[in-house]
């Protein structure tokens, strides 16, 4: 079986693994104030061209989201697309902290400025929660990306209403190297209040770098991390990995993401050769072909994929994900197999 189920099926990329081995015997301070975590934070500040931020290394995407949203006061709420990870796939982790998620429809996995305005018009007094943050992701959960124009428009609406803009960057690398992207790391920081740079899905063993730009969100953040059980005693584990990923202007980080995107786009090309349509036009490492159920059953005999949902009675929307580790040979094998699957009865 070969897995196209996600981008964390493999361990760490060679550069990360090497760095972990090389630093293994070194003693360091605990809880993320070690020399590696501090150096990694400096590297990130250089790459995003912002010195005025706090960087915290967190174990995973869900903890980042819970922590970022936990900066709000008890009665404050977060606006998200229905497809946003906090709304669709986090088991109520955010709601469990007491913060309501106000879900809007969105378009292609992206929130529309008008939807934020509509929520604000509908929340005007103390009988409803006070919307205080907007959650977006780039790349989105549907593999799409925000353009600079779109992100700027959202950022401006957030400023107009005094909302914090939080960007979930679980797949930020995949967005930044995607065809059609015109955002840089610096733009992401310029246009948001808080965001994270995902490592888990881009070649780290685990770990994300949460970047806080807005001074209002910075105080006592380490208290929040500890209280939410997210402070690693061996915090250097994430620092070491981010040094490997972010040195030389984030070279390894971007190379990993590029491989994942290119491989997924090659898969998309292959599906197109068989006139298999896509559910959504994604330019990153997640693609969503609409497969005949008979073809899907054959694929499932040799490949692990995610069934996203039914399209109609004979077709299913399926998610294929590639990673930093996906090799050309896997794509070639899939092509050879698909020729068979499509042509067999
Ligand atoms: C956009 C996005 N955010 C957050 C997460 C959650 O990450 P984790 O599984 O590390 O909690 C995921 C995981 O799939 C994701 O796709």
Q: Tell whether the model's pLDDT for residue 48 goes beyond 90.
A: yes
206-229 average pLDDT score: 98
CA of 62 to the centre of ligand 1 (A): 6
The best mutation among 5, 170, 321, 323 to test binding of ligand 1, ranked by most ligand atoms within 8 Å of the C-beta, falls on 170
Residue closest by Cα to atom 8 of ligand 1: 61
pTM above 0.95, yes or no: yes
Supply 236's token pair: 């250097």
* Any ligand 1 atom below 6 A from CB of 137: yes
pLDDT in tens, 281-322: 999 999 999 999 999 999 999 999 999 999 999 999 999 999
Residue closest by Cα to atom 13 of ligand 1: 61
pLDDT bin (cut points 50, 70, 90) of residue 79 is very high
Q: Tell whether the model's pLDDT for residue 120 goes beyond 80.
A: yes
3-class DSSP assignment, residue 194: strand
Which runs of E-coded beta strand occur in the chain? 2-3, 54-58, 76-81, 101-104, 130-137, 164-168, 194-198, 208-212, 286-287, 290-292, 303-304, 306-312, 315-321
Give me the chain's average pLDDT, please.
97
CA of 242 to the centre of ligand 1 (A): 18
- Which numbered atom of ligand 1 lies nearest the CA of 171? 1
Q: What is the pLDDT of residue 145?
A: 98
3-class DSSP assignment, residue 315: strand
Rg value, the chain, Cα: 20
CA of 198 to the centre of ligand 1 (A): 9
Say how far apart CA 137 and CA 149 lie, in whole Å: 15
211-227 average pLDDT score: 98
pLDDT in tens, 224-234: 999 999 999 99
Q: What is the pLDDT of residue 255?
A: 98
* Any ligand 1 atom below 6 A from CB of 81: no
pLDDT bin (cut points 50, 70, 90) of residue 121 is very high
pLDDT bin (cut points 50, 70, 90) of residue 326 is very high
Q: What is the pLDDT of residue 268?
A: 98
* Any ligand 1 atom below 6 A from CB of 168: yes
The best mutation among 9, 83, 85, 88 to test binding of ligand 1, ranked by most ligand atoms within 8 Å of the C-beta, falls on 85
CA of 85 to the centre of ligand 1 (A): 7
Q: Where are the domains of the chain?
A: 12-248, 253-343
pLDDT in tens, 232-265: 999 999 999 999 999 999 999 999 999 999 999 9
Q: What is the pLDDT of residue 344?
A: 83
- For the 253-343 domain, the top CATH level (class) is alpha beta
CA of 336 to the centre of ligand 1 (A): 32
State the helix-helix crossing angle for 148-161 and 113-122, rounded to 10 degrees.
20
96-114 average pLDDT score: 97
Q: Tell whether the model's pLDDT for residue 345 goes beyond 90.
A: no
Q: What is the pLDDT of residue 30?
A: 97
Q: What is the pLDDT of residue 142?
A: 98
Say how far apart CA 89 and CA 104 lie, in whole Å: 15
Q: Tell whether the model's pLDDT for residue 151 goes beyond 90.
A: yes
Instruction: Please give the CATH topology (third level) of the domain spanning 12-248.
Output: 3.40.640
80-89 average pLDDT score: 96
- Which numbered atom of ligand 1 lies nearest the CA of 200? 10
- Which numbered atom of ligand 1 lies nearest the CA of 208? 10
User: For the chain, what percent of residues have pLDDT higher than 90?
Assistant: 99
Q: Tell whether the model's pLDDT for residue 266 goes beyond 80.
A: yes
Peptide bond into 85 cis (omega under 30): no
């Amino acid at each position: 079986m070969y897995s196209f189920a996600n981008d964390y099926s493999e361990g760490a990329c060679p550069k990360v693994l090497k760095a972990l081995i090389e630093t293994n015997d070194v003693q360091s301070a605990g809880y993320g104030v070690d020399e590696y975590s501090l150096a990694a934070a400096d590297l990130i500040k250089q790459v995003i061209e912002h010195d005025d931020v706090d960087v915290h290394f967190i174990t995973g995407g869900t903890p980042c989201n819970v922590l970022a949203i936990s900066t709000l006061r008890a009665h404050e709420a977060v606006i998200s697309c229905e497809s946003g990870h906090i709304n669709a796939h986090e088991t109520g982790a955010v709601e469990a902290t007491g913060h309501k998620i106000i879900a809007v429809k969105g378009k292609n996995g992206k929130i529309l400025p008008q939807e934020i305005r509509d929520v604000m018009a509908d929340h005007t007094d103390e009988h409803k929660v006070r919307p205080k943050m907007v959650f977006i992701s780039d790349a989105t959960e549907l593999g799409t990306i925000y353009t600079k124009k779109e992100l700027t428009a959202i950022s401006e609406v957030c400023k107009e209403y005094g909302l914090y803009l939080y960007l979930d960057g679980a797949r930020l690398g995949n967005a930044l190297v995607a065809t059609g992207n015109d955002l840089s790391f610096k733009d992401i920081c310029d246009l948001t209040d808080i965001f994270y740079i995902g490592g888990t899905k881009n070649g780290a063993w685990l770990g994300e770098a949460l970047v806080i730009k807005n001074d209002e969100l910075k105080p006592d953040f380490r208290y929040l991390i500890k209280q939410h059980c997210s402070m690693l005693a061996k915090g250097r584990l994430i620092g070491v990995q981010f040094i490997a990923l972010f040195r030389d202007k984030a070279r390894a980080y971007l190379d990993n993401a590029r491989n994942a995107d290119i491989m997924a786009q090659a898969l998309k090309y292959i599906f197109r050769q068989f006139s298999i349509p896509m559910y959504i036009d994604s330019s990153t490492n997640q693609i969503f072909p609409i497969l005949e159920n008979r073809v899907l059953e054959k694929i499932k005999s040799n490949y692990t994929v995610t069934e996203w949902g039914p399209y109609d009675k004979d077709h299913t929307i399926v998610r294929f994900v590639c990673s930093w580790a996906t090799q050309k040979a896997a794509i070639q094998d899939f092509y050879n197999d698909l020729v068979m699957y499509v042509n067999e009865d």
